[in-house]
A and B are shown apart, each in its own frame.
Chain A
Amino acid sequence: MAHVQIRNVSKIYADGTPAVTGLDLDIAAGEFLCVLGPSGCGKSSTLRMLAGLEEVSTGQILVDGDDVVGRPARERDIAMVFENYALYPHLDVFANIAMPLVARRRPKAEIRDRVGRIAGTMGITEHLAKRPGKLSGGQRQRVSLARAMIRRPKMFLMDEPLGHLEEYMRIELRREIRALHEAAGGTTFYITHDQEEAAAVSDRIAVMSSGELQQLGTMKELIERPANRFVAEFVGEPPISIFEELRATGTEVSIGDWRLPLPPGSRKARPASAGVRPAHFRIAGSDMPGLSAEARLVQPMGESAAVLCDTPAGDATVIVPMAAVPREGDRFRLVAAPEHVHFFAASGRAIRSGED
C-alpha cells in the first residue's frame, strides 16, 4: 500500500508526440483510482510511466515520498495486468502465476501454497497444469489477474484488464478485482473506458483528455459538478444535452424559450453554452415555464426510456420512466432544477454558483 504522487509529469515520445502534459495526480494509500478518457488521451502512457516501462520526460513520481523516476520496473514493487494478458506461453498456468514469487526466490512450499490459494480465489484451479494457449479469454485474464494478485505490492496497475471480455464476464470480474483490491489493501491505478465499470470499482475517477487531467472526483461529483464541458459531455450515459445558443439579458438567461436566472458566478465569465443531463430533465405540461419540446424518438432502455426531443434550442434528451413515456410527436415542456443546469464559459470551463 503506497501513497503515490504524480507531480507535473509530462511525456513526449521520441517522435515528438506529446502524450501527457503537466499531470498532477495524488493517489491515496489504499485508494482505487480509475482513469477514464477517450482513446489516445495518455492513459496508458501515464500507467507505463508509473510502472517504469516508459521514461518520464519531465516531472516527478513519488511513491511514499521517494522519487521513483529512473528506477527500473523490477525495483518498483508493482504488479500489472495487461489489456492483452501478456502470459508466458511456454509455461503452464501454475508457473505463470508463480513467476513473481520465483523471481524473488521464495521457498517452493510457500509458492505452492500461495499459487493454490489465489488459483482457488480466481476459480482456475483445474487449469493449473495447462498452457495459456489452451484457455479461453476469460480464463487467461483470470490467470493474469492471479499473477498480479499473488503478491502484495505497493501498487497494482491495470490497463483495461477487462477490455476484451464479454459483458457478463466483465461484470463478474470487476467485482472480484474490487474484492481482491480490498483484501490485498493495495493502491490501484485502473484504466478503463467503461464508465459503468469505473463507477463500480473505483473510489475516485480521473478524467483525462489530450494528455491533461480534466477532473478528479467520484462518479457523483463528475455527474453533478463537471469541471468543464469536456467532462460534462464525456461522462454520463446517455450524454448530456448541450445548448449552444444562449441569450443573456440583465440577470436572466434564456435557453430557447426557457428563461432562467443567470448563475451567480457568471459576472466575469459570460456563459457560452449550457447543459442538462437527461436524467435531470422532467416532462411538464405545455403551460408550465420550461423548454418547449416535441418528442422525436423514443429509445426504450429497460425500465425507462430515453426520449429525444426537438426544442427551439436544439436537440435534448430526457429520461422518462417506462410508465410515463410520451408518444412520438407529443408536445410538452422540459424543466430542470437550476442546480442541474450547467453553464460553461466559452473556454469550456464550468461556471459555478459561488465562484467568480
Chain B
Amino acid sequence: MASMDTSTARLAPKAARAPGSLGTGDILRYALASIFVGFCLFPLYMVLSTSLKAEADIFAFPPAWSFRPIWDNFNDALFVFGGTGVMPFLLNSVIVTAASTAAAVGLGAMVAYGLTRFRIRGGSHLFFFILSTRFAPPVAFVVPLYLMVRQTGLMDTHLALILIYTSMNLSLVVWIIRGFFEAIPVEIEEAAEIDGYSRLQIFFKVALPLVKPGLITTAILSAIMSWNEFLIATVMTQNKAATLPVYLGGFSGSMGLEWGPYMAVGAIAVLPIMIFTLVLQKHLVRGLTFGAVR
C-alpha cells in the first residue's frame, strides 16, 4: 500500500499536496456536486421532515428548519387514518413485490440461460422481441389488461398484480442477466458436464452462483418497479389487494389534504425498499468468475 501511495504521488504532482487541502478546482467540483445531490434529496427531506411536523410547522413559511418532531402523523397513518390505517396496504405491497420479484428473477434467469446456451432458431431476434414488450407505454396495455383480469375473475387480487408485474419485469431481467451468462466462459460448464453433472445441475450449481451479481441487480430493479407501480395497481385493485401507491394516491383525491399523515405514509413507503436495496447491494461482488480460466 505504502509503495503505491508514493508512486502515485510521483506520477501525479497534484496528489502530492498535504492531505485534506483542496485546490480551487476541487472546491468548485464538490460545490456543484453538493448542489446536485441536495436538489435530488430535497423532496425526500421534505417528506421525512413534514411527516414529523405538527400542523402549524407544516404550513409555516418560510419552512421551519428546526421544529419539535412529533410521531402523531405516523400514529395516524398506521392506526387511525381512514379507519384501517396503512398496514394492510403495506402488507399487500410486500406480498406483491416479493412474489413478482422472485418470479421475474427466477423465470428470467432460466429464460436468459436457455437463450444464451442453446442454439435456438432466431435466438438473437428473440432477445429483441423480449425487450420490445417494453417499447410501448404501459398505459397502452391498461385496457386490454383490465379486460383480461376481469374475465379471469382476478379483479382486486394479489395474483393479478403479481402476474402483471412479473411479465413487465421479465423482459428487463432476461436482458440484463443474459449479459452475465454470456460472460461465463463456456469451458466451466463443459468441465461440469464432464465431471458428471446434468444440464439442470449445471444451471443451479455452476451457472447461477456465477451470475449472482446479475440476480441481485435485477432483483433490486424489479422490486423497485413493483413497489412503486401506480397505474396498473390503481386500475386492477380497489381495496382488498390495493398497494401503497394506490393508498397514497387516495390522499390527493380526498377533500382537504392531510399533509402530515400523507407524508408519514410516504416515509413508510420509502423505507422498506430502501433497506431491501441497501442489504442486497452488499452482496454485489465483482469479479466472481476471476480465476476460472486463464
Task: List chain A positions with a Cβ less than 8 A from chain B.
Answer: 51, 53, 72-74, 78-80, 82-90, 99-100, 103-104, 131-135, 137, 140, 147, 164
Nearest B-chain residue to A148, judged by Cβ: B194
Q: Which residues of A contact B288 (CB under 8 A)?
A: 89-90
Q: Are A80 and B191 in contact (CB under 8 A)?
A: yes
A319 to chain B, nearest CB (A): 35
Does B206 touch A at the CB level, under 8 Å? yes
Q: Once the chains are docked, how many angstroms separate the CA of A72 from the CA of B191?
A: 13
Q: Which residues of A contact B196 (CB under 8 A)?
A: 74, 100, 103-104
Q: Once the chains are docked, how many angstroms separate the CA of A86 from the CA of B201?
A: 17
Residue from the set B196, B288, B290 with the largest chain A CB neighbour count within 10 Å: B196
Task: List chain B positions with a Cβ less than 8 A from chain A.
Answer: 185, 187-188, 190-198, 201, 206, 209-210, 287-294
Q: Are A84 and B187 in contact (CB under 8 A)?
A: yes
Q: Are A74 and B198 in contact (CB under 8 A)?
A: yes
Q: Once the chains are docked, how many angstroms separate the CA of A150 from the CA of B210?
A: 24
Q: Once the chains are docked, how many angstroms separate the CA of A147 from the CA of B194?
A: 11
CB-contact partner of A82 in B191, B198, B209, under 8 A: B191
For the complex with contacts A74-B195, A89-B290, 6 further pairs of A-B residues with Cβ separation under 8 Å are A53-B193, A84-B187, A84-B294, A85-B294, A99-B191, A140-B294
A354 to chain B, nearest CB (A): 45
Q: Are A74 and B197 in contact (CB under 8 A)?
A: yes
Q: Which residues of B contact A79 (CB under 8 A)?
A: 194
Q: Once the chains are docked, how many angstroms separate the CA of A82 from the CA of B294?
A: 10
Q: Which residues of B contact A72 (CB under 8 A)?
A: 193
Nearest A-chain residue to B287, judged by Cβ: A133
Q: Which residues of B contact A134 (CB under 8 A)?
A: 291
Nearest A-chain residue to B292, judged by Cβ: A89
B78 to chain A, nearest CB (A): 43
Residue from the set A73, A85, A89, A131 with the largest chain B CB neighbour count within 10 Å: A89
A193 to chain B, nearest CB (A): 16
Q: Are B188 and A86 in contact (CB under 8 A)?
A: yes
Nearest B-chain residue to A141, judged by Cβ: B294
Q: Are A164 and B291 in contact (CB under 8 A)?
A: no
Give the 9 A-B CB pairs with smallest separation, nearest first.
Answer: A133-B291, A103-B196, A132-B291, A86-B187, A89-B292, A84-B293, A133-B290, A86-B191, A84-B294
Q: Once the chains are docked, how many angstroms separate the CA of A80 from the CA of B195?
A: 9
5 pairs, A vs B, C-beta closer than 8 Å? A74-B195, A87-B292, A103-B196, A133-B287, A140-B291
Q: Once the chains are docked, how many angstroms separate the CA of A137 from the CA of B294?
A: 7
Q: Are A80 and B290 in contact (CB under 8 A)?
A: no
CB-contact partner of A73 in B185, B193, B210, under 8 A: B193
Q: Are B191 and A131 in contact (CB under 8 A)?
A: no
Nearest B-chain residue to A165, judged by Cβ: B294
Q: Once the chains are docked, how many angstroms separate the CA of A32 from the CA of B35?
A: 71
Q: Are B193 and A85 in contact (CB under 8 A)?
A: no
Q: Are A147 and B190 in contact (CB under 8 A)?
A: no
Asked whether A90 and B209 contact (CB < 8 A) given A74-B198, A84-B293, A103-B197, the answer is: yes
Q: Once the chains are docked, how many angstroms separate the CA of A176 from the CA of B157?
A: 66
Q: Once the chains are docked, how many angstroms separate the CA of A104 from the CA of B289?
A: 25
